Structure formats: structure tokens, C-alpha cells
Amino acid sequence: MPDHPQPSARARDLVADAYDIHIHVAPDVMRRRIDDLTLAKRFAEVGLAGFVLKSHYVPTAERAEVVRKAAPGVDAVGAITLNAAVGGMNPIAVEIAARGGARFVWMPTVDSANQRACTARDPEGATPPMWARLQDDLREAGMAADPVDVVGQDGTVLERTRQVLRLIGQHDLTLATGHLSADEIDAVVGAAVEEGVRRIVVTHPEFTSQRVAVDRQRALAAKGALLERCFTTPHSGKVSWRTWLDHIDTVGPGHSVLSSDLGQPFNPPVEDGLALLADRLLAEGFTDKDVRTMAVDNSRLLAGPR
């Protein structure tokens, strides 16, 4: 594995007690840097509170409970992502995940209509996402599912989507917007507020298939959504660090939440992601309080115990 920068002690202290709300670790359908049980021990060693187990393909609530029992003191959080593998926009899957202890629901990611239709190009040299190869394999094998729609042709949020949002609100889960387009995000966040959802995070708004303009980010924040600032988005070259930092500055640290989106074998260790972000932010003039708000306060609001 390549050498990676080491976080400072100051950064480690600032992100202590944080949750990483977006990671990809083993077991998974693709190769990962670390497994969830080993990661829990690493999180305990560096003083992090927990992590949200994200899979594009399978629910993780039952797996999270096993990790919590095997590694007490670290809060592994279960989730579900509404891609084709769980039936897409499937209220039953959300209800079962909630009853099983899940706390996060992602709107469709790899199977979203927006991701399927996305023609935006990454900057030259950007690292492609690991799931892109798997999606190609499924398509070549004749198993490409229909895109998962969340809104109708007129942009109105579908009733099935509203049913899912009502369940998220009833169970006090966190809604993450996945790989929806900026227009879809606007519509879904508005509907989520109407349906009583209290915890909303806009998934990596700087990612290639989102590219949510900063004025729209501010409008989403005004509706109560947090904007997720993932380490891997600028680290992998999908957006410049300058743009990523400017968006935080413009929208405000109080409306942003840090996450790593790590777990890929070629990227830094998952347990270093939040602290590496802290060092970058401190070097750019953000305060200790800013970092603490984004890394700890806001991540605990989204992922902490209910």
C-alpha cells in the first residue's frame, strides 16, 4: 500500500468522539482495505465514537449489531441504500431495516436515475469509484436493473418515495440523498421536511454526479439539511480542495458534516480520514470550534443513539 500522511495529535483530539457517517469496509462485494471488526478496534484506539456501515447493495443493521457486541465501546451503525438489490424505492425494506436497528437510509446511489444518466466527466487523473466496475459487470451479464426513480417526469416526488420518507420520519432515521441530481435533492429534501424527517444530509454535494451549486447548498441548509464533506471527493481528484473548502466557507461550518467515504485499498486508513480533514481545515484557517462542529457535533446529530 502507498504511504499516506499521518494526522497530527491536535487533529486527533479535535475529532475525538466523532462518528464517520460514510465508510465502505469488508465484508463487501468488492475488495476493501479493512473489515468492520478490525476497524472498530482501530476507532477505539484513536478515540472515535463509531461509524455508519454503508453498502451500495445490502442492508447492514444486523451486521452492525454483531460488531457492537464483538467490539463494545464503538457504535457501529446500520443502514440501507435503496438500490435495485433491495428492491429500489422499497418501503418494506426500509421498515424492516428500521425494526432491525438501522439509523441511516440512503436514497439510490449506483442505481439512481441520475447516476445512470450522468454524462459529467471527472477531471483528468481522478480515481474512478470501485463500484463502477461491478455495475459494468452486472450490465454485461444482462442483469442491469431499471433505474430507481424518486420523482416523476414533472419533477414531483413520487408517492412511493413519500411513503419511504414517512417511514424515515416515523422511525427517526437519518435521510441521506445518495446520488440524486441537484433538482431531485431539492424536491426530496422539501418532501422530507413535509413528511416529518428530522435528520437530513446531502450526500457529497461536490461528487461528479451531484455537483450541487453552492447557492443551492445554502438553500438546502436553510431547509435544515446538513451538507456532507467527504474526504475522498477531493482526495480522489473529483473536485479541487479549493472548491471543497470554499463551499464549506460559503455555506458555513454549522451546516456541514465531515465524513471520510474511505475503505478503498489504495486510500488512507479509514480511521485517519476525519483527522486528515481536520488538519487540512486547520491549515486553511478554520478554527478548532469549526472543526469540532463539523466532525463531532453534526456527525453525532446524524448517527448517534436515538
Element containing residue 277 per DSSP (H, E): helix 273-283
Sign of CA dihedral 136, 138, 140, 146: negative
Q: Say if CB 199 and CB 168 are below 8 A apart.
A: no
pLDDT tens-digit profile of 206-244?
A: 999 999 999 999 999 999 999 999 999 999 999 999 999
Q: Which of 33-42, 56-65, 141-150 has the lowest mean pLDDT?
A: 141-150
Q: How far apart are CA 245 and CA 257, in angstroms?
A: 13
pLDDT at 118: 85
pLDDT tens-digit readout, 67-85:
999 999 999 999 999 999 9
Average pLDDT of the chain, as a whole number: 96
Indicate the helix (H) or strand (E) that contains 36.
helix 36-46
Query: Residue 58: which residues within 8 A CB-CB, separation 6 or more?
Result: 85, 86
Euclidean distance between the first and the last CA atom of the chain, given in angstroms as a whole number: 38
- Phi and psi at 97, nearest 5°, equal -60, -40
- DSSP track, 190-250: HHHHHTT--EEEE--TTSTTT---HHHHHHHHHTTPEEEEESHHHHTTSS-HHHHHHHHHH
Question: Which pLDDT value is given to residue 144?
Answer: 77
Per the listing, cell 480522489 goes with 236
The C-alpha atoms of residue 139 and residue 180 are separated, in whole angstroms, by: 20
In which residue are the cell numbers 486527533 written? 12
Query: What pLDDT shows up at residue 131?
Result: 81
Compute the chain's Rg from CA coordinates: 18
- Rounded CA-CA distance 299/306 in Å is 13
Edge-to-edge order in the sheet of strand 256-259: 79-81, 104-106, 174-176, 199-202, 226-230, 256-259
The per-residue pLDDT for 2 is 64
Q: Model confidence over 151-195: pLDDT tens digits?
A: 999 999 999 999 999 999 999 999 999 999 999 999 999 999 999
Helix axis angle for 241-251 and 214-222, nearest 10°, is 40
Is the pLDDT score of 33 beyond 60?
yes
Model confidence over 243-293: pLDDT tens digits? 999 999 999 999 999 999 999 999 999 999 999 999 999 999 999 999 999
Give the pLDDT of residue 237: 95
φ, ψ at 198 (rounded to 5°): -105, -15
Cβ-contact 60, 86 below 8 angstroms: no
Q: Can you tell me the distance from the alpha carbon of 174 to that of 198, in angstroms, rounded to the nearest whole number?
A: 7
Are 234 and 127 in contact by the 8 Å Cβ rule? The answer is: no
pLDDT score, position 145:
80
157 vs 152: CA distance, rounded Å = 6
Span 75-130, pLDDT tens digits: 999 999 999 999 999 999 999 999 999 999 999 999 999 998 887 788 888 887 87
